[in-house]
Amino acid sequence: EGRGRGGFVRGSSTITLADRGAATDVTVEGTVEIGGLLARVGQRLLGSASRTMTDRFFECLRGQLRPS
């Protein structure tokens, strides 16, 4: 959650892990609410930015979980 001169953003997400034997399925669901100038100008960019941040998170997690 954040607020500034450009507007506000409020969001939440749920990450679900499901055991599939030798693999794990990861499901991410989220909601976001934005308002102000941020909503009017940056709305198209938010989807791709959130996907990029999620991909970076899971790539980092994958690197941490690899055996040394």
Strands (DSSP E) contained in the chain are: 2-4, 7-20, 23-35
* Whether pLDDT at 64 is above 80: yes
Confidence of residue 68 (pLDDT cuts 50, 70, 90): low
Q: Which residues contact 31 (CB under 8 A, 6 or more apart)?
A: 11, 12, 13
Indicate the pTM of the whole model: 0.59
- Residues 28-32 have a mean pLDDT of 90
Distance of alpha carbon 38 from alpha carbon 44, whole angstroms: 10
Q: Which of 17-21, 37-41, 51-55, 60-64 has the lowest mean pLDDT?
A: 37-41
